[in-house]
Structure 1
Amino acid sequence: MTVRVGFFPHNNSLFVLRHNGILERRLPDVSWVDLRALPQGERPDPRSGLPTVHSDQLFAEGGYDVIGTGFTPPITALGAGHDVVYLGVSGPRTENGRIVVRADSPIREVADLRGHRVGIAHGSWQTTLLLFALDEARLSWADVEPVDTGADAARLFLDGEIDAWTGSYPDLDRVEAQTGLRTLVATEGLFSHPSLWFTSREFAENNRDEVAAIVESLQESDRWITENPRAAAQYFVDDAAARGVDADLDSWERALRTRPFGVNPVDEKFLDEQQRAADLLAANGLLPRTVNVRHAVLPWVNDLVAGTLAARA
C-alpha cells in the first residue's frame, strides 16, 4: 500500500525525513504530501474558531495518513469529531519561541495586552501559548485582538501592525537583528510546546507494520539531525530558496541545535497539558465541544514507541 505522509517545515523532524530517504528504506511506497500545496480553505476569524485543515485532510481523499504538527492540531481534530490517535511526542521546545513586544512598548505584562493586537499563527502551538498566558493573567480570549499573521508575522511586527507577537526561531533571529525586544512571556514554565505526530485510529489499527516503520524511521532521522544539524539546516534553506524566500543557514542550524529530537510515548504530564488546552479552547469558544484527549491514546502505540527508544539507546 501507499502510505501518505503530510509534511511541512514547521515539523522539523518530518521535513528532514522527507528529504533524507530514511523512511523509504523501510517503506518503499511512500507518498509525501506537502501541506503547503493543499487547499487551505477559508480560515476562521481567530476570535471565534480554530482552523481544522490539518485534521480534515487526515481523513480526506488526496490528503494524508500520518502528520506531524505542533501542540494544538490534535485537539482541533478531536473537537471536530475526528477519531485521531497520538503516535508520539517530542521533548519540550521551550527555547523555540515566546511572546515578545518591542523594547519601547508600553506593554509591560500580560494584563496590559487587554484590547491590543497579538500576532499568532492561529491553530498552532502559538494559540495555546497565548491562551495559557491570558488564563494565568485572568484574561480571556475576548480581552485581546488575536491576529492570524501567517507568513507575514515578522513584517507585521516590525511595521507596528501588531502590538505583540508570539514569535519563533528562526524568524525571531531576523527581528532581533533589526529591533530591540522585550520578552513578555517566556514559554518555559508555562507551556512545554512539544512537537507531536498523529494519525487516524483506523490507519493505526489496520497498518501496524507501517506505523512501526514510521516511528523507527523518525527515531533514526532525528538522531541524524542531532549529529548533523548544519546538513539538516541546509534542507530548510534550499526549500526557502526554491520558493524565492531568503533563509539564513546559521539561523536554521542554531534553531535545530536548540530543539529536542526523538519521539517519546505520550505520558500523563503531556496529556494533562493537552486536556488543559482543550478545556480552555472550549471555554473560550474556539472549540465546538469539550473533548477527552485520553481517548486518543493507543497503549500498543505507546509500547511501540518506548521500544524504539530503548533500541535507539
Structure 2
Amino acid sequence: MTVRVGYFPHNNSLFVLRHRGILEKALPDVEWVDLRALPEAERVNPKTGLPSLHSDWLFTEGGYDVIGTGFTPPLTALAKGHDVVYIGISGPRVENGRLVALASSGIETAADLGGKRVGIAHGSWQTTLLLFALEIAGLSWADVEPVDTGVNDGAEALLRGDLDAWVGAYPGLEALEKSHELRTLVDTESLFSHPSLWFTRRDFAENNREALEAVISALQESDAWIEANPREAAQYFVDDALARGDRADLDRWERALRGRPFGLNRVSEAFLDEQQRAGELLAANGLLSRPVDVRAAVVPWIGEAVEVSRSGASV
C-alpha cells in the first residue's frame, strides 16, 4: 500500500525525513505530499474562524495519511468532527518565538494591545499564543485586530507600520532582532510548552499499525541525525529556499535547529491539559464552532510505540 506523508519546512522533522531516505527503507511505497503544492484553503477571517487546510487534507483524496504541525491544527480538526488521533509530540519549543513590538512603538505589555493590529500565522501555534497572552492580560480576541501575515511576512509588515505587534518565530525573527530594537510583550515559556506534534486519521492508525510504527521509527532516527548534524540538516532548508527564489542564511538556520528539541515523545497529560484549555478558549472566542475533547484523540498503543522507538533511535 502507498503511505502518504505530508511535509513542509515548518515541520522541521518531516522536512528533513523527506530528504534522508530513511522511511523508504521500511516502506518502499511512500508518497511525499508537499503541502505547499496543494490548493490553498479558502481565506478565513481571523476575527471569526480558523483555517483547516492541514486537517482537511487528511480526509481528502490525494491528501496524506500522516502530518506534523504546530499546536492549533488538531483542535481545528476535532472541532470539525474529523476523527484524528495524536501520534506524538516534541519537547517544548519555548525558544522558537515570542510576541514582540518595536521598542519605539510605546507598547509595553500585552495589556496595551487593545484595538491594535497583531500579526500571526493564523491557524498555527501563533494563534494559540496570542489568545493565551490576551487572556492573561484581561483581553479577548474581539479586543484586538488579528492580521494573518502567513509565516514569513510579519517582520516586514511590522516595519512598514502595518502591524503594531507580531508573533515572530526563528529564523525570521533573528533578522529583525539584529536590525531593530524590539520589546518582548510575552515570551512563549510563560504561556505554554509549544511542541511540534504529529497526527493521523483513526482509520489509518487502526488498519496500518506496522506502517505507522515505521513512520514513528523513521522520525526518531532522522531526528537523532538532525541533533548530531544540525548544519547539514540546515542545508536542506537553505537549498529549498534558494530553489524557490527565496533568500536563506545557513548560519541562521543552523542556530534555529540547534535551539529546537528533536525526537518524538508520547502525548502527555500536561500537553493534553494545554490542548484542552486552548480548545476551550478558541471556542469561547468564536474561533471554533464547538468545544472539543482532546483526550478522545489518544490511542494508547501509539504512545507505547513512540516510547519503544525512542530507545531504538540512532544516527
TM range, smaller chain: over 0.9
In 2, the alpha carbon distance for the partners of 1:188 and 1:177 equals 22
Match of 1:312 in 2: 313
Matched, 1:148 2:112: no
Q: Distance between the aligned counterparts of 2:249 and 2:15, measured in 1?
A: 17
Q: Distance in 1 between matches of 2:95 and 2:41?
A: 32
Partners of 1:158 and 1:216 lie apart in 2 by: 43
Counterpart of 1:173 in structure 2 is: 174
1:200 maps to which residue?
201
Measure how far apart 1:67 and its partner are: 0.2
Is 1:29 aligned to residue 29 of structure 2?
Answer: yes
AA aligned to 1:171 is G
1:204 partner letter: A
Residue segments in structure 1 that go unaligned for 5+ positions in a row:
none
Q: Which sits farther off after the overlay, 150-159 or 234-243?
A: 150-159
Question: 1:221: which partner in 2?
Answer: 222
Q: Which runs of 5+ in 2 are unaligned?
A: none
Partner of 2:64: 64
The percentage of counterpart residues that share the same residue type is: 69
Look up the match of 1:298.
299
In structure 2, give the amino acid aligned to 1:33.
V
Q: Is the counterpart of residue 279 in structure 1 residue 307 in structure 2?
A: no
- Return structure 1 stretches of 4+ with deviation > 4 angstroms: none
Which residue number corresponds to residue 118 of structure 2? 118
Distance, in Å, in 1 between the alignment partners of 2:74 and 2:18 is: 21
What is the CA deviation profile of residues 264-285 of structure 1, one whole-angstrom value per residue up to 9, with x for unaligned ones?
Answer: 0001000000000000000000
Residues 1:104 and 2:126 are matched in the alignment: no
Number of equivalences: 313
CA distance in 1, matches of 2:154, 2:110: 19
1:157 CA displacement: 1.3
- Structure-1-length-normalised TM-score: 0.99
Q: State the alpha-carbon separation in 2 of the partners of residues 281 and 292 from structure 1.
A: 13
Deviation at 1:310, TM superposition (A): 2.6
User: What whole-Å deviation, never above 9, does each CA across 1:150-203 have from its counterpart, x for those lacking one?
Assistant: 132121112111000000000001111221111110111211110000000000
Three-state SS of the structure 1 residue aligned to 2:223 is helix
SS of the equivalent of 1:198 reads strand
Give the counterpart letter for 2:93 in structure 1: R
Which residue pairs with 1:264 in the alignment?
A: 265
- Amino acid of the structure 2 residue aligned with 1:156: A
Q: CA deviation at 1:305?
A: 0.5
**For the residues of structure 1 that align with 2:242 and 2:154, how far apart are their CA atoms?**
19
CA distance in 2, matches of 1:236, 1:206: 34
Query: In 1, Cα distance between the equivalents of 2:46 and 2:148?
Result: 6
2: CA distance between counterparts of 1:192 and 1:127?
Answer: 14
Segment drifting more, 91-100 vs 152-161: 152-161
Question: CA offsets, 1:38-69, max 9 Å, x none?
Answer: 01121210000000111111110111110000
1: distance between equivalents of 2:56 and 2:313? 33
1:48 and 2:48 aligned: yes
Offset of residue 311 of structure 1:
2.7
Q: Secondary structure at the match of 1:304?
A: helix
- 1:43 maps to amino acid: R
State how far apart, in whole Å, the 2-side matches of 1:253 and 1:310 are: 26
